[in-house]
Chains A and B, each alone.
Chain A
Amino acid sequence: MKPDDKRDAVLGRVLGPGEPELTCEQCFEELDRYVELTVAGDGADARIPGMRAHLDGCPACAEDFASLRDLVTQEGD
């Protein structure tokens, strides 16, 4: 990782997304719908505002999202 990338990655983790975001509870509530919209390429970020910002700011929820997306994608193959 280049120094600039490393600096930005650490600052990103410390300062977070800096925009309105869902809570962890709201994220879990919407996760299944968001994943299906994402996999379908159907405007997930526009239809569930604040989800992308939360996933950028919360590593645990981001991992949960990636797992569900990959499982659903695998099932659809």
Chain B
Amino acid sequence: MATALMTAPPEISWVDRLRSEGAEGQAAVAELHALLLKAARFEIGRRGAQLPHLRGGDQEDLAQQAADDALMAVLRKLDEFRGESRFTTWAYKFALLEAAVKVRKRAWQGREIPLEDEAWSALADAGAPAGRVAEDAELLAALREEIERLGERQREVLVAVALNGVPIDVLAERLGSTRGALYKNLHDARRNLRAALAARGLRVGTGGEEEA
């Protein structure tokens, strides 16, 4: 078996080892968990600024929870690994996702979600370069009107995520939805806004460029 492990492509051997019965399978699962824990610690470490109130022990608990959840996800989806990347890269993404979502939720725990367009004034306050003040004012006024005309869910998601910077995972948890479902709401809202602005004959690109 040792010879087979040494000669098999590493990606194949990972999957085979994880499917093995007995001590070999258990060792592979433990090795995988250690890798996932390393990835979770990496993610939580780079997001430490979002969790200033969390002590080191709490951050480690978060990393352990993320690694545990990622391990379950990886083992559940093992059949979906297509070998198009290294196995470790494929597995890491589950740990990074679990850790990132946990950090975002922890950072927003107990905070009210701003669903009104509080950030809108920031754009108006930003002003516009000389020569573009009038067209900017027209564009912003039209945009505000068209945002008001969006359906409730599309408007809610657009304002929270795009204007107020609420993490989409946090909003999904509060609304009992998923990242994918809310992003579709956001995508549809953006498409509707672009179409509405184009129908008014307004430029809809950023940087003053007309889009095709």
- Asked whether A68 and B93 contact (CB < 8 A) given A6-B122, A36-B86, the answer is yes
Residues of chain A with a CB closer than 8 A to B158's CB: 14
Residues of chain B with a CB closer than 8 A to A6's CB: 122-123, 126
Bin chain B's interface residue count.
Answer: 35 or more
**Cβ of A25 < 8 Å from any Cβ of B?**
yes
- Asked whether A57 and B93 contact (CB < 8 A) given A6-B126, A8-B207, A33-B84, the answer is no
Q: Whose C-beta in chain B lies nearest to the C-beta of A74?
A: B42
Instruction: State whether B193 touches A14 (Cβ < 8 A).
Output: yes
- CB within 8 Å of A: which of B37-66? 39, 42-43, 46
Instruction: State whether B93 touches A64 (Cβ < 8 A).
Output: yes
- CB within 8 Å of B: which of A1-60? 3-4, 6-8, 10-16, 18, 21, 23-25, 28, 31-33, 35-36, 57-60
Residues of chain B with a CB closer than 8 A to A11's CB: 123, 143, 206
Residues of chain A with a CB closer than 8 A to B25's CB: none
Instruction: State whether A12 touches B206 (Cβ < 8 A).
Output: yes
**Cβ of B32 < 8 Å from any Cβ of A?**
no
Nearest-neighbour CB distance to chain A for B14, whole angstroms, equals: 13
Distance in angstroms between the alpha carbons of A60 and B205 in the assembled complex: 22
- Asked whether A32 and B85 contact (CB < 8 A) given A10-B122, A67-B100, the answer is yes
Distance in angstroms between the alpha carbons of A63 and B170 in the assembled complex: 14
- CB within 8 Å of A: which of B19-39? 39
Bin chain A's interface residue count.
Answer: 35 or more
Instruction: State whether A7 touches B96 (Cβ < 8 A).
Output: no
- Asked whether A36 and B122 contact (CB < 8 A) given A14-B162, A14-B193, A68-B96, the answer is no
Nearest-neighbour CB distance to chain B for A68, whole angstroms, equals: 5
Instruction: State whether A15 touches B43 (Cβ < 8 A).
Output: no
**Cβ of B128 < 8 Å from any Cβ of A?**
yes
**Cβ of B127 < 8 Å from any Cβ of A?**
yes
**Cβ of B17 < 8 Å from any Cβ of A?**
no
Instruction: State whether A57 touches B190 (Cβ < 8 A).
Output: yes
**Cβ of B184 < 8 Å from any Cβ of A?**
yes
Instruction: For the complex of A and B, list the 6 residue pairs with the smallest distance between their C-beta atoms, beginning with the closest.
Output: A16-B190, A32-B85, A6-B126, A8-B206, A24-B180, A13-B162
Beyond the given pairs A16-B194, A32-B93, A70-B46, 12 more chain A to chain B contacts, judged by CB atoms under 8 angstroms and listed by A's residue number, are A6-B122, A8-B206, A8-B207, A10-B123, A14-B143, A33-B85, A35-B89, A57-B190, A64-B96, A67-B100, A68-B92, A74-B42
A-B contact list, 10 entries, CB within 8 Å: A3-B126, A6-B123, A14-B143, A16-B194, A32-B86, A59-B161, A60-B169, A67-B43, A67-B96, A70-B46
